[in-house]
Chain A
Amino acid sequence: MSKKINITINGVVYEVEPGLTILEAAQNAGINIPTLCYHKDLCVAGNCRVCVVEIAGQKRLAASCATPCQENMEVLTNTLKVRNSRKHIIELLLSEHNADCTKCYKNGNCELQELAAEYKIMSQDLIDLVPYKDYTIDMFSPSIIKDDSRCIRCQRCVRTCAELQGVNALTVAYKGDKMKISTFFENSMNDVVCTTCGQCVNHCPTGALIEKNYIEDAWEAISDPEKHVIVQTAPAVRVGLGEEMGFEPGESVTGKMVAALKNLGFDSVLDTDFTADLTIMEEGTELLTRLKKALVDKDINIKLPMATSCSPGWIKYIEHMYPEYLGNLSTCKSPQQMFGALAKTYYAKARKLDPDKIVSVSVMPCTAKKFEANRPEMHDSGYRDVDIVLTTRELAIMIKQAGIDFRKLPEKKFDRLMGDSSGAAVIFGATGGVMEAALRTAYEIVTGREVPFDNLDILPVRGLEGVREASIKIEKPLENWAFLDGVELKCAVAHGLVNAKKVMDAVKEKKADYHFIEIMACPGGCLGGGGQPIPTNPEIREKRTKAIYEEDKNLSIRKSHENPEVIKIYKDFLGEPLGKKSHELLHTKYVARNRY
């Protein structure tokens, strides 16, 4: 046990854990210190300098985020010197910043703007530097807009891309007044290794990195009487949206969200969970088929481990970084794209609609979904399968624009036909969820019995550890699956691409003999997605995770293969998992991309 440290903040003595920074000690004591470059997900940079405090006996101020507490340190957080310095720093940032806030997408949700308000920066003495800069806006990516004129060089995006994602698409270029956040050869975000995961967007304090929004397109479709506009919502949206509407993190708002979508004017409000269940049917079968071919037929062309393919950021990552492993990816489309393909075929047929008149909208916790929907191969219905992808944040904006009192909305249920969900589908939103859902179904297919875990909760694959491993021994399988008797099914789960890299490197170096790996591009899985409410941080992710598993627990159907609509679609339309129709509509191919 290390000894506690005594430190005085604003005249009051506190006993703190050694190793704590001044900022952390102050936060624990309920003293607010402004920050900009600081983010709980990231290593400390200490470059914005807005968190400076005075330490007795020192002439210079200290960046509280980067200064460890020391025994008998006397800290002052609100002296004239501190206030004036912070104000100066905010003014400096504003002078380099395109501060026409009313024309900014982040107006109202910008940390710089908040600080300017807090410090009442009423006039600008300093000279506006923006006219002297040749700032550019990069709009080529279908997911992300990068506007250098709004950048405050805090490098949160750079650290996010490196530390959380291990991608390093964003880097610092040049020095001095020319210093900027850039990409390889200053190419567009669309032409570099960017996975479009949007974690940088989620971590940007200002409007420098934002999602490409399709709000107006959605409104236009809704207002067009000719169109039948359907919307699907991903599992993670329901545990994030509340935060944008004034709820505490961790409150699930499924019913209100459905009601709000109906109020917005969508013709049918459906659930991506339905295709999440479908994904399990297809992917689970695919896994078992691969296992059979590998173990019984000794087919050397079968690639194991099989990797999940639900996360489009992960897909783009592996296409860039490990193209030699594309054969390991499940050929299943993501739930969003399965939904899109079925919307303009199965749904259109059942509802007797002209698919040409259907506009398929999705609400996702994700910016990579925008890229995914835009992929040229995603036209298997004969149309663009998903027309418009909105993030959780965009949906929140639309709800506010519509003047809906979200809190008071009576809860509603999803519409039928592609609106049913199992608990297995809900947990897709959390890291480990796809794995758990797949195991619940696959184990039962193979053995005829439920997975041997209390309440179906496969705890080893849950949690927020970067990489988690689990194995299930298959005992007494049904006759068809006798070859799996005694096989120990080895699984790994990773979230955040920096952890995906660890798993892939282990596979590459033959240090791991997994059969099945689940990878989600974003920390925490989809509930921590790039399109989720800002801020997202470790505590908030934990709360959203709890909410997801709570939803699962409360559902009566908790296994994908028991979803009645799933049973129905196989009976009426698809035939069987991995059948001909499935192949046409629900499976896809991948492309190798450059590492640069």
Chain B
Amino acid sequence: MATTYNLKRADFIFRNENDWEKILNRTLQRDKTELINELISSELKGRGGAGFPTGLKWKLASESKVQEKFIICNADEGEPGTFKDREILTKVPFKVLSSMAICAYIIGAKQGIIYLRGEYRFLKPDLEKTISEFEYYCNEINFDFKIKIFMGSGAYICGEETALFESMEGKRGEPRNKPPFPTNAGYMDKPTVINNVETLAHTFTIFKYGATKFYDLGVQFSRGTKLFSVSGDTPKPGIYELELGMSLQDFVDEFGDGDTKAVQVGGASGFLVPRKRFGETAIGFRGKLTGISLPTGGSMMLFNSSRSMFNVLDNYLEFFREESCGQCTPCRVGCQQLLIGIKAVKQGSKPASYLDKLLKLTETMQYTAKCGLGQSVANSFSSIVENFREEMIY
């Protein structure tokens, strides 16, 4: 049984940022190793999807002897229905920029880049103004650091870090083979730290209040707070900062409409949790104690009993079929087969047992796809098909 909290709202991310100059200046005076250790001890994990420990990522990049390095802020935010990164960049951009500068200081980078989702072009003018103000300050304190904005092209896959590098290098947005990992060879094959917008906002909190404050929030393996984009059948859609580790039941009690039959945790690449599992499911990173994980960007979509789970799955699969970059066999063809396959079962041209073949197929996709997109199609597919099998057939 997972250790869970009751739902606890928090307010760190959007708390005012008026003191950014002080925090930045103060942090840039500190010893680099000490900063890395502080970040590691906070146990902050990336908020962009993979949940990689941020402190370790910075440490690895700092260890590289290569001269030129980069810090990239991933603001591609392509998950349908989420706009938390947009909110952060609108409301507290200086936190993100300051964290980029601190990371640059630690790893030894001089150039920061914000990869901004194509649809967020309207943010660009304001953000550019903020950046020039920020660079002016860096200059004043003799810190050599520049930030530029790179506009994304609108493909979901370009949020995947290596596809993002490819797209920045003017190539087609296709994920690379790993290794090498970005901290060794990322953008332009130089050591690169790439972090989600929210991750960077949290590092600001950590350097402002200290790692302990952050660590004390949340539960084991899932420390701190997280922004959730709540949508679907809920009377209160929106963005909420919550402590990690709450039980899904508490979440549904707070945000549900009284008739919640399932929640999709973590968007299209996440898992569907049916009502009977609400109590035993904790929202946090996969760890020994938490039941089900929270991958990706914090999307929480509630479904009430009027919803057809077949349609839900159908939508997700259509999304993947289109948004797969198309380079690797299991993902490109697998997504087509899954989509056409569930329709065939629904229409009766394939027997119900065909669903089991498709489940096996998603397993292969999970094992063999080149990147996180193809690997995670199995999550929503198996959790929906296994929990709502009858809805797939009749």
Contact = CB atoms under 8 A, between A and B. Distances in A.
Nearest to B172: A172
A175 B325 contact: yes
Interface residues of A, number: 40
Contacts of B179: 67-68
A179 B177 contact: no
Given A47-B329, A96-B333, A176 B323 contact: yes
B337 A95 contact: yes
A95 B337 CA distance: 9
Interface in A461-495: none
B336 A96 contact: yes
A129 B336 contact: yes
B368 A89 contact: yes
A370 to B, nearest CB: 31
Interface in B338-394: 340-341, 344, 350, 354, 357, 360-361, 364, 366-370, 375
B344 A93 contact: no
Contact of A175 (B322, B350, B369): B322
B332 interface: yes
A152 B333 CA distance: 10
A52 B368 contact: yes
Interface string B303-337: 00000000000000000111111111110111111
B155 interface: yes
Nearest to A70: B179
Contact of B157 (A153, A175, A178): A175
A44 B335 contact: no
Q: Is the interface of B mostly helix, strand, loop or mixed?
A: helix
Interface string A172-201: 101111110000000000000000000000
A47 B321 contact: no
B95 to A, nearest CB: 34
A59 B330 contact: no
A458 B42 CA distance: 68
A174 B326 contact: yes
B327 A47 contact: yes
A126 B337 contact: yes
Contact of B177 (A46, A81, A89): A46
B330 A89 contact: yes
Contacts of B330: 49, 88-89, 92
A255 B174 CA distance: 50
A362 interface: no
A179 B326 contact: yes
B364 A84 contact: yes
B333 A178 contact: no
15 contacts: A46-B328, A46-B370, A49-B330, A60-B368, A67-B179, A84-B360, A92-B334, A96-B333, A96-B336, A132-B336, A153-B332, A172-B326, A176-B332, A177-B322, A179-B324
Interface of A: 44-50, 52, 59-61, 63, 66-68, 81, 84-85, 88-89, 92-93, 95-96, 125-127, 129, 132, 152-153, 155, 171-172, 174-179
Given A50-B329, A176-B326, 8 more contacts: A46-B328, A47-B327, A88-B360, A89-B329, A96-B333, A125-B357, A176-B335, A177-B335
